[in-house]
Amino acid sequence: MEGLELTAFQIISSVGSARSCYIEAIQEAKQGNFVKAESLIAEGDEMFVEGHDAHANLLTQEAQDGPGSTLSLLILHAEDQLMSAEGFKTIALEFIDAYKRIESLEQKLMDK
């Protein structure tokens, strides 16, 4: 395996790991483990950047070589996974914020 296939699998692997971190961050926030949730977001971001960089390299290569590179379902899948992970990060950040607000409100009620 080489070239486009290898790059596609690199993207899929990296952003798949990122998406898993983002989902796990939501689960940690739900349990009130906000430090762990934020750590998982940061870990996911590192993985996402790896996938994003591989994708950017593909775009740079195509710009240099001109059109004509083979567009495969594997590359389309890799790009889909990239966008999916980005969406999961957005959702994870919103959930973490919501869980923090819920915990804060619950604490205020307990203090009364």
Q: What positions carry a catalytic annotation? A: 77
Cα distances from 75 to residues 1, 6, 110, in angstroms, run 14, 10, 52
Q: For residue 53, give both structure tokens.
A: 């960089």
Single out the residue of 13, 16, 21, 12 nearest to residue 91, CA to CA. Answer: 21
- Distance in angstroms (rounded) separating the CA atoms of residues 41 and 18: 8
Contact of 7 with 57, CB cutoff 8 Å: yes
